[in-house]
Amino acid sequence: GQNIDQPTEMTATEGAIVQINCTYQTSGFNGLFWYQQHAGEAPTFLSYNVLDGLEEKGRFSSFLSRSKGYSYLLLKELQMKDSASYLCAVIDSNYQLIWGAGTKLIIKP
């Protein structure tokens, strides 16, 4: 079967750094997405990785290791508005997007 694993919930402090991990087992791999979803709102795109390595975009960075079936999202200089769920999703060999359950990130002052 296909599986995406992420921690259910994480807590971090405003101004700090947090790393949200995602491991996947899918039938094929054609890329990995990270989406942000605030409570009651639609998911919004954060990043896309298809090659190994780190992609940096402002305060957010995403890393991929295809050989390990592993990715992480790194959030720096945390702000209260970063409190949200972060969803990892993998494109499989059929170009279907397989979604994780999401990691709820709680930011404390």
Partner 1 sequence: GAGVSQSPRYKVTKRGQDVALRCDPISGHVSLYWYRQALGQGPEFLTYFNYEAQQDKSGLPNDRFSAERPEGSISTLTIQRTEQRDSAMYRCASSLAGEGYNEQFFGPGTRLTVL
Q: Which residue ranges make up the site for partner 1 (CB under 8 A)?
A: 4, 30-31, 33, 41-45, 48, 50, 85, 87, 89, 91, 94-102, 104
Q: Which is nearer to partner 1, 69 or 102 (CB)?
A: 102
Phi, psi of 82, rounded to the nearest 5 degrees = -80, -5
- Residue 54 CB, shortest distance to partner 1, in Å, is 18
Instruction: Tell me how far, at minimum, the Cβ of 37 lies from partner 1, in Å.
Output: 9
Q: CB burial class (10 A; 0-12, 13-18, 19+) of residue 40? A: exposed
Question: Residue 82: which residues within 8 A CB-CB, separation 6 or more?
Answer: 75, 105, 107
Nearer residue to partner 1 within complex by CB, 16 or 38: 38
Looking at the Cβ atoms of 11 and 44, the one nearer to partner 1 is 44
Q: Least distance to partner 1 from the beta carbon of 60, Å?
A: 15
- Least distance from C-beta 6 to partner 1, angstroms? 9
Question: Are 34 and 84 in contact, with CB atoms under 8 Å apart?
Answer: no
DSSP state of 81: G
